[in-house]
Structure 1
Amino acid sequence: MRPPLCHVLISLTLLCNALLLYYTWRLQLRPMGRQAPTPVLSPGVTVIVREFRTFEHGLVELSHSFLRARPTLPLLIVSDTLPYPPPSLPLSPGLKLLRLHPSPEQPGSASHLESHVHTRFVALVPDGTFLEPPDLLDRMLRELRNAPPSVKIIAAAAGPALHCLHLNVSLREWTVEYGEAGAGSSCGAVSGAAVLLLRSHDLFELPFPLARPLQAAIFIQAALRGWEVQVLADASFSRTPLPATDHGRWKAEQAEREEEAVTMRTLGVRLVRGPGGAERWFGCSKETPRCFGTVVGETPEYLYEGHWTPPCCLRALRATALHVISVLEASSVRYWLEGGSLLGAARHGDIIPWDYDVDFGIYLEDVALCAELRGAQGGSLVDAGGFVWERAVEGDFFRVHYSQSNRLHVDLWPFYPRDGMMTRDSWTGHPQDVEFPESFLRPMQTLPFAGGVAQAPNRHLKLLQMKFGKRAIEEPEYPNPALLRMRGR
């Protein structure tokens, strides 16, 4: 007797379910994924030459020097693009020319540094260096092996003696600051051309191990990890500075400036301050857009990323604020620090370090006294300093931009007295936007602000309590705590 079709289907379903359960059980017993075997590294050193110029270099002489002293030495010449014309490098099984820029006909690993290093240590060697005396790499190895755990880099001079520097990196403030290292203190960086020795796995831990300028990029990333640098005492490699021609040096300087700008922006650095106080800026300017986009919910994007206002933006805000103050005062327009700017003056004597604009209140009846404000009523006006005055599209107030390209701005809020209270026709809905007695403005006082002084309400601490709460100065907070609060609060 043939079984009914429904019985056959039920049996097949049960069998499929049993097989599915069996294979699921087997998969759970297996590892989640096959791990790539950890490569076994030899105890030697791989020399990496990264800092050279493809248009004028000493790669041939460098290679001969290192391979003559140590014929089996692994030596990697690493470049974004191949040198042109191709150098006549010595024949050696350990010598490789590695192009970092991927090529479509090669496997992805071909441009990865890790695929070409098979030793426990690496030495980053600048162009023009010679392995003289020949035992220097061995001395550096012994120094690193005997160093405290915090020391991850051994630096040996390549040419003139090195100078030990203290290095402070604040990604929150987008700033790198070098200082003189005290006697007996550890180095965070060194000035001068150097050969750097470190463990291969430490180099590979860095997200940008071969960014240029190489030494600066290595030291900044090392400082963020708490690594220390130890200088090899009483020893230096022989070195011929390259490029050697005036035109080559000029081209190299231009290229290094461009590389440094790209690398600093990649690392989240907008300001580098040298030991003597000299500053190099890598952020926005009058000719570029600002460093952040449209602000949503009073919370700029950089706050979500753990940063405060980029220093170039603070610099632009200060310049705009001081310019606006000078124009208003020259026009006899009564103005005062408003909102968060008044809070910044009271707490910091400056713009709040995480703020993104500046606010001033002005008397509505004084608008007609200022040519720039009159010009802004009908559209926009660009003054002799390149600052842009316009009526804001968001409400009945004025806005002064740093430039036509860079829209960092100062807001001017027109107030007028009504029944002894200062009020205005345009409100933003922020909790601190409230009417207040005109007596706070009769008379006004001055407070330090943005590198100068600005008019401010009298009894400003009491006014700030009205606007922000009793402990606004003692307990800093981000503009919209409902979206994002300061860490630790």
Structure 2
Amino acid sequence: MRCPLCHVLIALTLLCNVLLLYYSWHLQFRALGRQAPLPALAPGITVIVREFRAFEHGLAELNRSFLRSRPSLRLLIASDVLPYPPVPGLSVLKLHPSPEQPSSASRPESHIHSRLVALVPDGTALNPPDLLDRMAQKLRDAPPSIRIMAAAAGPDLRCLHLNVSTRQWTAEYRPAVASEPCGAVSGTAVLMLRSRDLFELPFPLARPLQAALFIQAALRGWGVQIAEGVSFPRTPLPATDHGRWKSEQAERQEEAATMRALGVRLVRGLDGGERWFGCSKETQRCFGTVVGETPEYLYEGRWTPPCCLRALRATAHHVIKVLERNGVRYWLEGGSLLGAARHGDIIPWDYDVDLGIYLEDIVLCAELRGAQGGSLVDAEGFVWERAVEGDFFRVQYSQSNHLHVDLWPFYPRDGVMTRDSWTGHPQDVEFPESFLQPLQTIAFAGGTAQAPNRHLELLRMKFGEKSIEEPEYPNSALLSMRGR
């Protein structure tokens, strides 16, 4: 009688042990599966100095000024490389990863443990000592939409409106009206924000710091507020002519790299000036080979980069000028004619320009004759060549940048315009020569161009009845504006 009871007790003991082991394993598995949260941030302010030049700076004096006023303040120098010559007593956040250090060493969240962070430019002094506290109070009292508090570090700041369009690759500044919050400020500023907001940004300490920060904030709908009555004394640095020249050169390179990283190709300033950060005659275009008539940028929810549209317009104007000078009959074809009808310009998501020409007029143009046997680079650097895809001509923006205008040779047969090479596009159809007799002049790409008469009728014949009123991407089977 004892053996069966012993067996039962042993079995129950084993079962309990198995259950205990499973429970312990389950708890450990869940703990491993959870991502470790960021440590709780403590009250206080971390000061970060990012905008300085290693070759001429005032970091030692800035450090003394801030720590003299606030001995408990934590001050970090954020730099891609260690400042040289070294400045004793500085804590450096080296932003460029080093192979001998963990990846976390170059991330701000590994060094910032306070709830607030102040981004301070070189040459700034903390006088009086409560300036940062006053900024912090104003940030706490601000509406939830205000994520950045700005205080002047030198001349007064000006509130700006900033519109950033990812679809059009542009950032545009204008003076803000009284009824709207700032999207940015002009002038050198001390900026304060919550540390967790800084950690959210993909490029938290990119340079130029203010421009990069405001563009990323605008994309998130964050407002900026000027801290009225708060102004930091500052000595502009670098102080020497040579240092300022080197700083300006470096800032231009930094701005170009940062704008490209942020997906901005054009910045329009307050003065109406434009700064371009995309392709040029000396570089390749901003996108690769187009597959299925659908450029890669359309899949990213963007339209043609503005630098590419600028190059296409310049190439179109040049080709039109050459054709007209030589008496070659031409007209806007395909999507370019459609763009002229809708916008008086290139379609905002198009990637080339199409012109039709009379086949018999090729002999009138030296550039076209030269392109028949290979390629010809004209006096302005445009490349004329015979296309490898078919029996037509192509004019490229430059030898490096292959944004182009395609020239399609047509000839009349029994009153119908036809050609010997077709691409298979739905709009590649024959049409009556009467549309070209006579040609008309219409607005296109900032100038004028020749186009078929009754062009709206021709477009509906080529693209469909609602093609003008209902825009669509070139290959709606791959990607549609309507999300089909």
d(CA) in 1 for partners of 2:180, 2:217? 17
d(CA) in 2 for partners of 1:472, 1:37? 53
| Correspondence for 2:274 | 279
CA contact (8 A) 2:134 2:230 kept: no
| Correspondence for 1:331 | 326
d(CA) in 1 for partners of 2:459, 2:288? 29
Where does 1:270-349 land on structure 2 (aligned, <5 Å)? 270-349=265-344
1:190 equivalent to 2:176? Answer: no
CA contact (8 A) 2:135 2:230 kept: no
| Correspondence for 1:425 | 420
| Correspondence for 1:372 | 367
Give 1:104 deviation, angstroms: 2.4
Give 1:108 deviation, angstroms: 2.2
Question: Structure 1 residues 25 and 155 mapped into 2: Cα distance closer, same or farther (>3 Å)?
Answer: closer
Segment of structure 1 superposing worse, 197-206 or 99-108 = 99-108
| Correspondence for 1:173 | 168
d(CA) in 2 for partners of 1:308, 1:486? 12
| Correspondence for 2:11 | none
> Residue deviations 1:138-165, cap 9 Å, x none?
1111101010110000000001100111
| Correspondence for 1:12 | none
> Residue deviations 1:40-59, cap 9 Å, x none?
21111000000000110000
1:356 equivalent to 2:351? Answer: yes
| Correspondence for 1:457 | 452
1:74 equivalent to 2:74? Answer: yes
Question: Structure 1 residues 37 and 406 mapped into 2: Cα distance closer, same or farther (>3 Å)?
Answer: closer
| Correspondence for 1:14 | none
d(CA) in 2 for partners of 1:107, 1:362? 62
3-state secondary structure, aligned to 1:327: helix
| Length-normalised TM-score, structure 1 | 0.93
Where does 1:138-157 land on structure 2 (aligned, <5 Å)? 138-157=133-152
Q: Among the aligned pairs, what percent are the same residue?
A: 80
d(CA) in 1 for partners of 2:106, 2:32? 28
d(CA) in 1 for partners of 2:177, 2:23? 66
Question: Structure 1 residues 335 and 110 mapped into 2: Cα distance closer, same or farther (>3 Å)?
Answer: same
d(CA) in 2 for partners of 1:64, 1:311? 47
Q: Which runs of 5+ in 2 are unaligned?
A: 1-17
Give 1:316 deviation, angstroms: 0.4
Give 1:395 deviation, angstroms: 0.5
1:87 equivalent to 2:87? Answer: yes
Where does 1:383-394 land on structure 2 (aligned, <5 Å)? 383-394=378-389
Where does 1:36-115 land on structure 2 (aligned, <5 Å)? 36-89=36-89, 96-115=91-110
RMSD: 1.9
1:204 equivalent to 2:199? Answer: yes
2:257 maps to a residue whose letter is V
3-state secondary structure, aligned to 2:242: helix
Question: Structure 1 residues 411 and 24 mapped into 2: Cα distance closer, same or farther (>3 Å)?
Answer: farther
| Correspondence for 2:132 | 137
Give 1:282 deviation, angstroms: 0.4
1:471 equivalent to 2:466? Answer: yes
Give 1:105 deviation, angstroms: 2.4
1:262 equivalent to 2:262? Answer: no
Q: Which runs of 5+ in 1 are unaligned?
A: 1-17, 90-94
d(CA) in 1 for partners of 2:39, 2:479? 44
